[in-house]
Amino acid sequence: MLPLGCSRRLVAELRDALDDCAERQLQLERSLRVSRRLLRTWEPAETPAAEPTPEPETDEEAPPPDTPSPQDLRELELLTQALEKAVRVRKGVSKAGERHGALGLKSAATSRATTASAPPGASGQAGRQTSETKPPRGIHQTTVPARGLPECRLPSVGDRTRMGRGASTTKPRPSLRDQQIPPSATPRAPEAFTLKEKGSLLKLPMAYRKVASQNSRLWAQLSSPQTSDSKDTASMAKTQFLQKMKTTSGWPGSGLAAAEVEAEAGLLRKACSLMRQRMEEVLSAEPADRIQEYYSLLTLEGLQAITEQCLHRLQELRAAVAGQQLGPWTEGRCCRASLSCEGRTDPTWSPQLLFYSSPEELQSLAVLGLRVAMLDQQIHLQKVLMADLLPLVGAREPPGPPWLALCRAVHSLLCEGGERFLTVLRDEPAD
Amino acid sequence: MGRRRRRGGREHAVGALPEAIAALSQTLPAGPSPEIFRRAKFDRPEAAPALWQLLFRALSPPAAAGARASPALGAQVRLVKSALCSQGYPRRVLAQLPEDGSQGSRELLLALAWLLARGPLLEHLLARTRVWLGDEIPLCQYEAPANPGPPAPCQEADGPVDIRHLQWLMGKLRFRWRDLITSQQELCALLGKIHSYTRGCHSDRGLDHLSVAEIELLRDPEGGRQLLQRLESENTRLEAALEWRRRELVFWQWMDTVLGSCPLEASPATFLPRDPAPGPGELELVARELQSLHGELQGAAEPRRAAWEAKAGGCGPEWGAAQRATQEAVGQDLAALQRAWEQGGAPAQPHRPCRLVKRDTRAVEGPGLRAAELTGALRTRESRLEAALGRLQTRCRQELARLAGAEPGLIWILPPGR
């Protein structure tokens, strides 16, 4: 078992990292859901909600529990013919109206979306599409009993008749009414709208465009530099106010806030990594001539001097932290981090445009972005783990096999990213 | 109020205070009414809870502010106190206010003014809830939590764990990243399709195609209405913010009087109890890194200097000029390096959200990033990070070998595939 403080710290760090991933995953899944829905066929919002894609009820739905009697079937035939006649009348208005009719019927009937067997669906779709081009043929197609729409209608009508005979006669009327809905001229024909086929017909509503342009105009105004004199007097007033706040309080401290210490520590950390990078570049390069040799030498010495300055600054910070009450470190640690993050970025930037030319390009960019974030996180975790685990191994307790197990685990975590393990063999002297 | 108006010599700002406060209250998210501000000047207790809540919203991290239901008033009070304290809020009175949130409205008003004076608080709050209309991919860097500190108290009191638990957590983390990457790839493919299907639809020729948010608005009228409402309310807040900018001077003059009406603080007798010091803190970690770097630099530079001095004889006069030139070049080089970290790093820090636009890159002119360039920059960054991680791992290997090597009678067989 690891010591308590060490356990808590490391578990907390790892849990943070896991939470960060979980949040990203949530956001991604949300976006995925929305995008997938957009790419599927859209459900028409105004007409009764239905999946116009081939999802008609199949035959096996209605008959088995309650096979319609022959008389029922005859009535259905009559009804079907009446509907077809209505459709024929309507076809003169427009082909869209006819599709409405088909849609209306199906939507009135479909109580639950069921997966249709492919052939009826496909021919139904085909039926509709050909009906687009050749109305008479379309009507004829709708009467084909074995395939296509009537098959959908029959069980649906059968459904209704099950509910009550009286209702059956009233049933066609809603669908006729549906047929009388004037075909909408907008490209949002509520029938089989897919982004793929009709995406280029979309147009943003005027109300939205006005509001959106006003929005971007206001943001631009907010981020533009203000007129000088109002800004000056206001900022003078602000500085005076801050000064007064400081002097009227009884605060004895040097004014170094915890957040500022943290920010400086971050800068020093960054300095360290940049300097280390430069050092390694210098060390790995072979000097070609004396001048380059001298250059490398001076660079190394210069870096050494800067490191000493940084260490000095760090000492000052540590003294400041120890010497005065900076206030409790708290659960607000993420709070501080976010504030400092916000402090670095200008909040009123308008979004920049990022041009990409192909999905593959976008994919590789996005994956790279994630990999960079992952590596950042891994490096941070590596440092934290090193700081806590290496001393444990050095302390060599508990001695014996538990220590060996610890060594092995630590090696795997720190040196192999937790992916591979080494083996420890006891070297028995051969007698 | 009448009194304020009669005060002369305040130029055109006479009578503008109510408007200024109204603008401020409209800009703030769920801002307290102007009446609360007036009551707070007189330290009325009923104004306190609203101000605590406002400060909580302003100071809590952006993600938390939106997602969860707000915690109880006591927890909000605690967080506000600690956040202000860590930012260096100069007045002690705040820390001594009771946690039930029933008092201290004047102090809270001062705290709000202090935050407003120090930085662009309003702009930040507006930016947090900004309505984004474009599609974007995450290019933000991982922000490591700055100071480990004591673990969040909301977690159950963890006992000591076995190292296998840590290994398990690491493995889980690896899998989560893998999932993330596949999901992101899928999303990019979908976005590519969506963008190409809606080519030419956008009223703004520069954008050319619609984004997911815009298509959603068309697909789902109800959602579209909500989006419009959000945009409209954001516009109202933006206008209020601009109005505030015009009028804020009179607010600051008023705050001076509020500050003046506070009793002067006695010198602080008690310090706040400090939480038990955490483990290796941030400063400690940085100190260790800097020290090891220093050691390595010293180890590399000294022998080279010695070798150089040994060979230094026999340089002609032209060497002096070359020497000076080299010194200057190194000086400039290192100064540039120092600027790099002091100014916050590489130029294209992508904290700024980018709206994706699918366009044949040959046809692109004007401002904006190109994916190909960003990819190149990220690849360099990736290889640097991989190298850095590799170096850290090597250091660990060496250190562990040293520690373990002292143990006799054991053979360590390293895993293959390194």
Report DSSP letters for A121-168, one per residue. HHHHHHHHHHHHH-HHHHHHHHH-SSSSHHHHHHHHHHHHHHH-HHHH
- Inter-chain residue contact A390 with B282, CB threshold 8 Å: no
Q: Averaged over B270-288, what is the pLDDT? A: 58
Q: Which two tokens stand for residue B217?
A: 């608005």
What b/e string do you get for A173-198 counting C-beta neighbours within 10 Å, with b at 16 or more?
eebbebbebebeeeebbbbbbebeeb
Q: Which A-chain residues 332-371 have CB contacts (< 8 A) with chain B? A: 332-345, 347-349, 351-359, 361-371
| Mutation target among B96, B116, B137 for the A interface, most CBs of A within 10 A | B137
Residues 176-215 of chain A whose Cβ lies under 8 A from any Cβ of chain B: 188, 195-196, 199-205, 207-209, 211-212, 214-215
Tell me how close the Cα of A160 comes to any Cα of chain B, in angstroms. Answer: 30
Quickly state the pLDDT bin for A130 (edges 50, 70, 90).
very low
Please return the burial class of B222, using the count of CB atoms within 10 Å of its CB with bins 0-12, 13-18 and 19+: exposed
Split at pLDDT 50, 70, 90, the class of B84 is: confident
Q: Inspect the interface and report whether the beta carbons of A426 and B410 lie closer than 8 Å.
A: yes
Please tell me the distance from the alpha carbon of residue B418 to that of residue B415, in angstroms, as a whole number.
7
Inter-chain touch B326–A291, beta carbons under 8 Å? yes
> Which of A17, A196, A336 is the closest to B197 by Cβ?
A196
Q: How far is B142 from chain A (nearest CA, A)?
A: 5
Beta bridge partners of B355: A353
Which H or E element spans position B35?
Answer: helix B34-41
B92 vs B12, more confident = B92
- Contact list in A for residue B255 (CB cut-off 8 A) is 241
Chain-chain contact of A202 with B274 (C-beta, under 8 angstroms):
no
User: What pLDDT score does A18 carry?
Assistant: 94
- Which of A4, A77, A1, A28 is CA-nearest to residue A370? A28
Q: Which segment of A124-133, B306-315, B407-416 scores lowest on mean pLDDT?
A: A124-133
Interface mutation target, options A365, A408, A427, chain B, most CBs of B under 10 Å: A365
The closest CB to that of B242, out of A2, A222, A291, belongs to A222
Question: Which of A32, A199, A270 lies nearest to residue B186, judging by beta carbons?
Answer: A32
Q: What is the DSSP letter of B237?
A: H
Parallel, antiparallel, or unpaired: how do β-strands B354-358 and B410-413 relate? unpaired
How far is the C-alpha of A198 from the C-alpha of A42, rounded, in Å?
11
- Which one of B114, B169, B290 has the shortest CB-CB distance to A18? B169
- The pLDDT assigned to B345 comes to 43
d(CA A269, CA B275): 25
More confident residue, B402 or A342: B402
Cβ contact A237–B385 (<8 Å): no
Test B255 with A347 for CB contact under 8 angstroms.
Answer: no
Q: Give CA torsion, residues B23, B24, B28, B32, to 10 deg.
A: -100
Q: How confident is the model at residue B15 (pLDDT cuts 50, 70, 90)?
A: low
Q: Any chain B CB within 8 A of the CB of A218?
A: yes
Interface test with B, best of A318, A355, A389 (most B CBs within 10 A): A355
pLDDT-based confidence at A382, cuts 50/70/90? very high
pLDDT band at B352 (very low <50, low <70, confident <90, very high): low
Q: Is A240 on the interface with B (CB under 8 A)?
A: yes
**DSSP structure string for B288-340:** HHHHHHHHHHHHHHHHHHHHHHHH-SS--THHHHHHHHHHHHHHHHHHHHHHH
Inter-chain residue contact A330 with B79, CB threshold 8 Å: yes
E-strand stretches of A166-233: none
Task: Collect all residues of chain A within an 8 Å Cβ-Cβ radius of residue B353.
Answer: 349, 351-352
Confidence band (pLDDT; 50, 70, 90) for A364?
very high
- DSSP 8-state assignment for residue A199: G
Question: What is the interface pTM, i.e. ipTM, of the complex?
Answer: 0.76
Q: How far is A234 from chain B (nearest CA, A)?
A: 5
Partners of residue B141 in chain A, C-beta under 8 Å: 372-373, 376
Coil, strand or helix: which one is B98? coil
Tell me how far apart the alpha carbons of residues B380 and B373 are, in angstroms, rounded to a whole number: 11
pLDDT tens, position by position, A247-269: 876 555 545 677 777 778 888 88
Residue of A nearest to B308 (CA): A294
Q: Please classify residue B199 by burial: count the beta carbons closer than 10 Å to its beta carbon, then call 0-12 exposed, 13-18 middle and 19+ buried.
A: middle
Residue B418's contacts (CB-CB under 8 Å, 6 or more residues apart) are A416
Partners of A5 on chain B (C-beta within 8 Å) are 279
Q: Does residue B355 contact residue A344 with C-beta atoms inside 8 Å?
A: no
A50-54, B123-127, B226-230, B386-390 — which is least confidently predicted? A50-54
Instruction: State the CB neighbour count (10 A cutoff) for residue A44.
Output: 20
Q: What is the mean pLDDT of residues B52-71?
A: 72
Structure tokens at B42: 């007189």
Q: Do A204 and B174 touch (CB under 8 A)?
A: no
Per-residue pLDDT at B55 exceeds 60: yes
Query: Smallest Cα–Cα separation from B285: which of A413, A265, A329, A6?
Result: A265
Cis peptide before B276 (omega within 30 of 0): no
Residues of chain A neighbouring B267 (CB-CB closer than 8 A): 250, 252
A262·B147 Cβ contact <8 A: yes
Q: What percent of chain B has pLDDT over 70?
A: 80
* Residue among A354, A389, A413 minimizing CB distance to B368: A354
Let me know: does B245 contact A230? Beta carbons within 8 Å.
yes
The pLDDT value given to residue B154:
44
CB contact under 8 A, A421 and B415: yes
How far apart CA B51 and CA B339 sit, in angstroms, is 41
Question: Considering only A366-370, B8-12, B245-249, which range has the smallest mean pLDDT?
Answer: B8-12
Q: What is the mean pLDDT of residues B116-131?
A: 85
Residue contact B141–A413, C-beta within 8 A: no
Number of cross-chain residue pairs from A and B with Cβ atoms under 8 Å apart: 650
List, as ranges, residues 48-67 from A with C-beta within 8 Å of B: none
Q: Do A261 and B88 touch (CB under 8 A)?
A: no
Residue A225 pLDDT > 60, yes or no? yes
pLDDT, greater one: B186 or A396: B186
Nearest CA in chain A to B149: A329
Q: Which two tokens stand for residue B197?
A: 């299907």
**Between β-strands A423-426 and B369-370, what pairing exists: parallel, antiparallel or unpaired?**
unpaired
- For residue B169, how many other CB atoms are within 10 A of its CB? 20
What mean pLDDT comes out for the span A378-395? 88
- Residue of B126, B132, B133 lying closest to B234 (CA atoms): B126
pLDDT above 50 (res A61): no
**Helices B221-260 and B34-41 sit at what angle, rounded to 10 degrees?**
20
Arithmetic mean of pLDDT over chain B: 79
Inter-chain CB proximity B191 and A359 less than 8 Å: yes
pLDDT given at position B141: 58
What is the model's pLDDT at position A228?
64
More confident residue, A75 or B348: A75
Partners of B157 on chain A (C-beta within 8 Å) are none
Q: What is the CA radius of gyration of chain B?
A: 30
Q: Which residue has the higher pLDDT, B187 or A50?
A: B187
Q: Which of residues 305-324 of A touch B (CB under 8 A)?
A: 306-308, 310-311, 314, 317-318, 321
Q: Which residue of A has its CA nearest to B180?
A: A25
Residue A172: the pLDDT is 44
